Amino acid sequence: MLLAALRGEVLEANLDLVRRGLVLSTFGNASGVDYEAMKPGDLVITDLQGKVMEGTLRPSSDLPTHAALYRAFPSIGGIAHTHSEYASAWAQARRTIPCFGTTHADYFHGPIPVTEVMAEDEIVGEYEANTGAAIIRTFENLDAMSIPAVLVANHAPFAWGRDPRKAAETAWMLESVARMAYLTVSINPHASDIAKTLHDRHFLRKHGEKAYYGQME
Amino acid sequence: MLLAALRGEVLEANLDLVRRGLVLSTFGNASGVDYEAMKPGDLVITDLQGKVMEGTLRPSSDLPTHAALYRAFPSIGGIAHTHSEYASAWAQARRTIPCFGTTHADYFHGPIPVTEVMAEDEIVGEYEANTGAAIIRTFENLDAMSIPAVLVANHAPFAWGRDPRKAAETAWMLESVARMAYLTVSINPHASDIAKTLHDRHFLRKHGEKAYYGQME
Amino acid sequence: MLLAALRGEVLEANLDLVRRGLVLSTFGNASGVDYEAMKPGDLVITDLQGKVMEGTLRPSSDLPTHAALYRAFPSIGGIAHTHSEYASAWAQARRTIPCFGTTHADYFHGPIPVTEVMAEDEIVGEYEANTGAAIIRTFENLDAMSIPAVLVANHAPFAWGRDPRKAAETAWMLESVARMAYLTVSINPHASDIAKTLHDRHFLRKHGEKAYYGQME
Amino acid sequence: MLLAALRGEVLEANLDLVRRGLVLSTFGNASGVDYEAMKPGDLVITDLQGKVMEGTLRPSSDLPTHAALYRAFPSIGGIAHTHSEYASAWAQARRTIPCFGTTHADYFHGPIPVTEVMAEDEIVGEYEANTGAAIIRTFENLDAMSIPAVLVANHAPFAWGRDPRKAAETAWMLESVARMAYLTVSINPHASDIAKTLHDRHFLRKHGEKAYYGQME
């Protein structure tokens, strides 16, 4: 893909997050850069160590977290970090989002995990890089491509995908799933995860070699 | 009704579900068909065994569920399957929606039932057809035309009616009723069903031979 | 006021309820009359016994409830009956809405009462007139003009005022108050009513002879 | 700043509160002044004792509260008093809003405090001035500029900042934080405050001499 096209795609994915209410648009234009006024050429290109390759603005202070994830999960082509309300509430509550139903299973092949609370020295030190490390540890025994999202404890979600558009879509699905899980535990505090068979059936209807959802076999 | 008119009505009922926020519009156009770009001629006509009679696209993978319901409930002329938030939360919580008030009683002549959790072999086997069978078993002692909706456990609601427009309307009323029931149990976890007399009075004001709601006798 | 002006005001108040999301607009135009297409001349004029004085359409089946309230509370010049979500949830939960704060006290001089559950014979008999009687009994020791709303148990709210516009405004304030009370008990199930002194101060800042809210003394 | 510019800024900040849904727009134009029709010249200028310096309309009855805060906190250049839903619900529940996550820590350097319930004689006496005094007592051991908001018990929030625009922004951030805290305690009633180290890290990324958020160091 040409770099110009990638810039356009990244900007569009960011605007998507704003339009879907997952991030609060910069209030007026006092802090940071106003998304609506941003042009593809304003985006900064860095390498996987976070070194600026192209661009005049400085990259986001969250860059070390993103760079750590791109290095650890080579299949990732886009990451969306939001403070969307329901997913952030689960992160603040330090609770894994259980898989209560097929809406969840259609998109995520397991519960949405929450990271461990970070240690004092991780916060005082290279905080943003350490946030990335905490996420990576959470996926030691999980597949980051079939569960493409995480809750950072006391913070908020990160979601990802093969490209920026897919990452934004995942952030949006995560928020829907988080909201339905919230309603579910409010109705029934003892609600339990669905059976693995049902989870597999729904995830595999949509993903992998034998996917058939949306059209008959 | 001419087939052309029926195609238009079915498409319109689908768009109605999107406009009312009961189904998430296909995200971009990556998966499935984009509702907004769909034309009546894109719809596929099948018989009650699910055999395609007319059309070039493949029918939805959910077809076996719908076909089973049309065969079991001959008065049904339209079915709406959504993952609307509040009704799905009750389905995920595996809880019948009690009839807490007259808004519910005006539209549904009883609580909204939830199916039993499907067995392993039902999920591994003809899953979509078995979903239909689970719904039909739930109505063994209930009248599907006076309680025109069901919650599939761990999944989401199905609603129906005498035609596609009525099915979409029922899906929307179900979501309103599910939302009000959610608020009710949040305020009072011990809230109880209304008396049968009151339920009958309200349902029969609007339905059946002695209906009088909306105009004086 | 000329009858033509009153017709216009009543229609406008009804549209206000729809615009503010307090009543669901008639779905399509299948049942009842479509508000958006209604003209002042479509409204039916009755006397306080419910006898039609002018108009060709039939009056609402809820007329006997409204007529009973107009007869019992002579200061009332408008009544709004909605199934607005939060107020209806309190009605379905059969719970009085406590006065948790000054927003409530600014508009209602006491908690919002809930009627007793109606007896079997009241429901089987003249149901709509008996609904009015149940409301009137609830106000035996309350002032209907300083607490201009009620929750009918298992049903929904009625709100009123000196004219139709004020009744619609009260229905809207009631919904706001019901929603904030809902959030309050969710945060703190042991939240308690505010002190009578504070309640009086706020209500009397806005109402009665010594009102001063909005401008300095 | 010229007085004309300040008038414009104050009016704009008020409209901002309405547009963001933090205050209910005056219903019709029955009570108070309609914001949408207000012009900068309608605003009343008073001194810090509340004495009118310029203007023909009377100042708000809430003026004594605002004046008390301006006198006590000299760095304040704008105050926003709303009855926004979630912040008011915490005020009605008489609960401090804990700092459950980094969204909160990004804007407020500590939990959002709630005032003590006012005594009978404070309510009967100079109520509005005493409300200001109750807020000031709450901040005896807190820094009003790094925690620029308070919940008045049984009432609603006040938020402030160095100018009117910043005060409106703070009122809006407070509502977001209050809403996410509400969801958090609903998911996990035992959720606890984040560690002081994390709180400091996030607040100081955005505020003070070493702020670096939004751009790399």
Q: Which of B69, B80, B73, B83 is nearest to B178 (CA)?
A: B83
Burial class from Cβ neighbours inside 10 Å (0-12, 13-18, 19+) for residue A121 reads exposed
Contacts of D57 in chain C (CB under 8 A): 215
Torsion from C-alpha of C23, C29, C34, C39, nearest 10 degrees: 180
What was the ipTM of the complex prediction? 0.91
Question: What does the pLDDT look like over C61-113, one tens digit per residue?
Answer: 899 999 999 999 999 999 999 999 999 999 999 999 999 999 999 999 999 99
- d(CA B107, CA B208) in angstroms, rounded, equals 12
pTM of the model: 0.93
- d(CA D10, CA A99) in angstroms, rounded, equals 48
Return the residue matching tokens 């009377």: D58
* pLDDT of amino acid C216: 43
CB D138 within 8 A of CB D63: no
Beta bridge mates, A78: A161
- d(CA D126, CA D131) in angstroms, rounded, equals 9
Average pLDDT, chain D: 89
- d(CA A21, CA A43) in angstroms, rounded, equals 22
**Within chain B, where are the H helices?**
3-19, 63-72, 85-92, 102-107, 120-124, 127-138, 164-187, 196-206
Among candidates A166, A194, A205 on the partner chain, residue whose Cβ is nearest the Cβ of B154:
A194
Torsion from C-alpha of D20, D23, D29, D35, nearest 10 degrees: -60
* pLDDT of amino acid D1: 59
* pLDDT of amino acid D134: 98
CB D54 within 8 A of CB D44: yes
Contacts of D28 in chain C (CB under 8 A): 165, 169
Select the more confidently predicted residue: B38 or D185.
D185
Beta bridge mates, A159: A80, A149
DSSP conformational letter for D52: E
Mean pLDDT along residues B158-186: 96
DSSP conformational letter for A67: H
* pLDDT of amino acid C39: 87
Question: What does the pLDDT look like over B91-113, one tens digit per residue?
Answer: 999 999 999 999 999 999 999 99
Q: Which of B27, B120, B134 is nearest to B91 (CA)?
A: B134
CA contacts within 13 A on the Cβ side of B124: 6
Active-site residue identified among B106, B163, B182, B193: B106
* pLDDT of amino acid A33: 60
* pLDDT of amino acid D33: 60
* pLDDT of amino acid A114: 98
Best residue of B9, B17, B179, B184 to probe chain C, by most C CBs closer than 10 Å: B184
Phi, psi (5° rounding) for residue D101?
-170, -175
Q: In chain B, what is the straight-line distance between the N-terminal and C-terminal CA atoms, in Å?
A: 33
Q: Is A213 a catalytic residue?
A: yes
Average pLDDT, chain B: 89
Q: Which of A66, A84, A77, A87 is nearest to A131 (CA)?
A: A66
- d(CA C213, CA C217) in angstroms, rounded, equals 9
Q: How many CB atoms lie within 10 A of CB C209?
A: 5
Contacts of D45 in chain C (CB under 8 A): none
Beta strands in chain C (DSSP E): 45-46, 52-54, 78-81, 149-151, 157-161
Among candidates D101, D201, D205 on the partner chain, residue whose Cβ is nearest the Cβ of A92:
D101
Question: What does the pLDDT look like over D92-149, one tens digit per residue?
Answer: 999 999 999 999 999 999 999 999 999 999 999 999 999 999 999 999 999 999 999 9
Cβ–Cβ below 8 Å for B216 and C86? no
DSSP conformational letter for D216: -
Contacts of A186 in chain B (CB under 8 A): 89, 182, 186
Cβ–Cβ below 8 Å for A169 and B88? no
- d(CA D216, CA D38) in angstroms, rounded, equals 43
Question: What does the pLDDT look like over D68-100, one tens digit per residue?
Answer: 999 999 999 999 999 999 999 999 999 999 999
Q: Is the pLDDT of residue B216 over 50?
A: no
Task: Please tell me the distance in Å from B206's CA to the nearest CA on chain A.
Answer: 30
- d(CA D168, CA C151) in angstroms, rounded, equals 36
* pLDDT of amino acid D213: 66
Q: Residue D6 — very low, low, confident or very high, per pLDDT cuts 50/70/90?
A: confident
Cβ–Cβ below 8 Å for C154 and B187? no
CA contacts within 13 A on the Cβ side of A58: 10
CB D82 within 8 A of CB D17: yes
Cβ–Cβ below 8 Å for B117 and A195? yes
Share of chain D above pLDDT 90, in %: 65
- d(CA C144, CA C140) in angstroms, rounded, equals 9
Beta bridge mates, C54: C45
Chains with 3 or more CB pairs closer than 8 angstroms to D?
Answer: A, C
Beta bridge mates, A143: none
* pLDDT of amino acid C206: 86
> How is residue A45 written in tokens?
């290109």
Q: How far is CA D52 from CA B65, C81, D1, D38, D78, in A?
A: 73, 44, 19, 19, 18
The 3-state secondary structure of A77-95 reads: CEEEECCCHHHHHHHHCCC
Helices and strands, number each (H, E), in chain A: 8, 5
Q: Residue C213 — very low, low, confident or very high, per pLDDT cuts 50/70/90?
A: low
CA angle B174, B176, B180 (to 5 degrees): 115
Q: Is the pLDDT of residue C31 over 70?
A: no
> How is residue C155 written in tokens?
């049903």
Task: Please tell me the distance in Å from D201's CA to the nearest CA on chain A.
Answer: 7
- d(CA C154, CA C116) in angstroms, rounded, equals 10
Select the more confidently predicted residue: B39 or D33.
B39
The list of chain A residues with pLDDT below 50 reads 26-31, 215-217
Helix axes D164-187, A85-92, angle to 10 degrees: 60
* pLDDT of amino acid A31: 42
Q: Is A215 left (phi over 0), alpha (psi -120 to 50) or beta?
A: beta
- d(CA C93, CA C189) in angstroms, rounded, equals 15
CB C115 within 8 A of CB C153: yes
Torsion from C-alpha of B190, B191, B197, B200, nearest 10 degrees: -130
- d(CA C110, CA C146) in angstroms, rounded, equals 8
Q: How far is CA C155 from CA A98, C24, C91, C137, D122, in A?
A: 35, 15, 6, 16, 40
* pLDDT of amino acid A25: 54
Torsion from C-alpha of A135, A140, A141, A146, nearest 10 degrees: 50
Cβ–Cβ below 8 Å for D95 and C188? yes
Residues in chain B whose Cβ is within 8 Å of chain A: 24, 27-28, 30-33, 57-61, 63, 83, 85-86, 88-95, 117-118, 120, 123-124, 127, 154-156, 182, 185-186
Select the more confidently predicted residue: B150 or A26.
B150
Cβ–Cβ below 8 Å for D216 and A118? no
Q: How many CB atoms lie within 10 A of CB D29?
A: 10
Q: Is the pLDDT of residue D214 over 60?
A: no
Q: How many CB atoms lie within 10 A of CB B39?
A: 9
